[in-house]
Amino acid sequence: MLSKKCQYALHALIYIVEHEDSDRLTIQEIADKKNIPKKFLEGILVDLKNAGIVGSKKGKFGGYYMMKRPESVSVLEIIRLIDGAVAMLPCVSLNFYESCGRCDDEATCRVNKLFSAVRDETLKILSGNTLADLQKVGGMGKKEAKKVLLKKASL
Partner DNA sequence: GCATTCCCTACCGATTTAATAGATTTTCGT
Partner DNA sequence: ACGAAAATCTATTAAATCGGTAGGGAATGC
What residues line the site for a copy of itself (CB under 8 A)?
1-2, 7-8, 10-11, 14, 34-36, 75, 85, 87-90, 100-103, 107-108, 110-111, 113-114, 116-118, 120-122, 125-126, 129, 134-135, 137-140, 142, 145-146, 149-150
Question: How far is residue 38's CA from residue 128's CA, in Å, rounded to a whole number?
Answer: 31
**Minimum gap (Å) between residue 44 Cβ and a copy of itself:** 13
**Minimum gap (Å) between residue 151 Cβ and DNA:** 32
Q: Are 20 and 65 in contact (CB under 8 A)?
A: yes
By a kind-dependent CB cut-off of 5 to 8 A, residue 142 interacts, out of a copy of itself, DNA, none, with a copy of itself
Question: How far is residue 2's CA from residue 85's CA, in Å, rounded to a whole number?
Answer: 10
Nearer to DNA, 60 or 143 (CB): 60
Nearer to DNA, 38 or 69 (CB): 38
Nearer to DNA, 13 or 45 (CB): 45
Nearer to DNA, 22 or 72 (CB): 22
Nearer to a copy of itself, 45 or 75 (CB): 75
3-state secondary structure of 56: strand
Question: How far is residue 37's CA from residue 9's CA, in Å, rounded to a whole number?
Answer: 12
Q: Which residues contact 13 (CB under 8 A, 6 or more apart)?
A: 48, 53, 54, 73, 78, 131
3-state secondary structure of 1: coil
By a kind-dependent CB cut-off of 5 to 8 A, residue 122 interacts, out of a copy of itself, DNA, none, with a copy of itself
